[in-house]
Amino acid sequence: MMDSELPGTLSVDNFEMRFADIASIELSQLQALSISVEWPHRAADWQYLLDIGKGYVARDEIGRIGASAMWFPHGEGFATFGMLITLPRLQANGTAKWLMNRIMADCGHDCIRLNSTREARRLYASLGFLPKGKVYQCQGTVMAAMELPPLGKDLVLRRLDRADLDAVVALDAPAFGAARRLHLARLFDSSICYGLYQGQQLRAFSMLRRFGRGHVVGPVVAARDEDAIRVTQPHVAAHVGRFLRIDTHFETGAFAAFVQQCGLGVYNTVRTMVTREDASYGTGQDGEAVVYALASQSLG
């Protein structure tokens, strides 16, 4: 849909809603919006998203924020969508679709991926998005950290820094589905990162940062379960007795079992949806790495 075809206003609940650049909105208003739907985002979490993404809110005549939607560019021609939030009392009034049409026109990409709540799936389907797998939101208080066998002689697990960024980007790109160097660089600035090296080759990496009620582990990228577990275990061990969250595509298998055994049960699920097949995550074919844990549901 062309931007010129979109109506500039929408009458909702006896008030006329207008688009406003999300970057112009106070963090306290955005946080109040996410709290209204019981999302855990702190003001700092919102600020991080504003720093790397773009979007709009629906604002009424007296300045109240009724809804939000954002998009995040990743490489050439690819984007993820997120932070589609509508106040509960406005969820049946067309506000979400109005905002989605706006950001789809503004984004200009036709290769888009998002993670949908159950309530929003019908809306996304009406806009041409197709279901493509699930994400299991696992969280809770870490009960224990699984003891792992010693590493092989040619393997090294260590903290990563900016000097490892090229290796991280190269491993991540086929797993994520696009090269997201700028986002990974930003994540380095706010995360504790571990990598598993075999000689000069990076086999797996993980990141952990503050988010919501505590900390989130993600992204985690590896080609096999044991490597994903190996780079995730130090974060788990450092958070025994504390809240931790991991969003993963894996419901079964060794990595999923590891997450469950740490005390992180499935709290919720969302559906990954795409506009076309090449907006999907990598499949891990030919030994390539896959995304074991997402950076966030908005960023993938």
What is the structure's pLDDT at 200?
94
| Structure tokens that stand for 82 in this block | 């997120």
How far apart CA 36 and CA 125 sit, in angstroms, is: 24
* pTM beyond 0.85: yes
Residue whose pair of structure tokens reads 């209204």 in the numeric block: 36
Alpha-carbon span 3 to 6, nearest angstrom: 5
Does residue 11 surpass a pLDDT of 70? no
Taken as a whole, the chain contains a residue count of 300
Tokens of 29: 């208003």
Q: Give residue limits of the domains in the chain.
A: 3-109, 137-293
C-alpha span between 76 and 73 (Å, rounded): 8
- For 226, the token pair is 């044991």
For the segment 26-82, what is each residue's pLDDT rounded down to a tens digit? 999 999 999 999 999 999 999 999 999 999 999 988 889 999 999 999 977 899 999
**pLDDT of res. 62:** 86
Give the separation between CA 234 and CA 159, rounded to whole angstroms.
10
pLDDT of residue 175: 97
CB 103 within 8 A of CB 69: yes
User: 174 pLDDT band (50/70/90 cuts)?
Assistant: very high
CATH number of the 3-109 domain: 3.40.630.30
Q: Which residue has the higher pLDDT, 2 or 87?
A: 87
Please say if the pLDDT value at position 156 is more than 80. yes
What homologous superfamily is domain 137-293 in, according to CATH? Gcn5-related N-acetyltransferase (GNAT) (3.40.630.30)
Q: What DSSP letter does each residue of the chain carry, written as one string?
A: --GGGS-SEEEETTEEEEEEEGGGS-HHHHHHHHHHTT----HHHHHHHHHH-EEEEEE-TTS-EEEEEEEEE-STTEEEEEEEEE-GGGTTTTHHHHHHHHHHHHH--SEEEEEE-GGGHHHHHHTT-EEEEEEEEEEEEB------PPPPTTEEEEE--GGGHHHHHHHHHHHHTS--HHHHHHHHHH-EEEEEEETTEEEEEEEEEEETTEEEEEEEEESSHHHHHHHHHHHHHTTBTSEEEEEES-SSSHHHHHHHHTT-EEEEEEEEEESSGGGSPP--GGG--EEEE-S-TTT-
Closest listed residue to residue 91, CA positions, set 187, 12, 8: 12
Rounded Cα gap, residues 172 and 180, in angstroms: 8
Q: Where residue 147 falls among pLDDT bands split at 50, 70, 90? A: confident
pLDDT digits (tens, 9 = 90+) for 181-238: 999 999 999 999 999 999 999 999 999 999 999 999 999 999 999 999 999 999 999 9
Whether 137-293 and 3-109 are alike in CATH topology: the answer is yes
- Judge whether 42 and 262 are in contact, CB under 8 Å: no
| 28-39 exposure pattern, b = at least 16 Cβ within 10 A, e = fewer | eebbebbeeeee
More confident residue, 108 or 2: 108
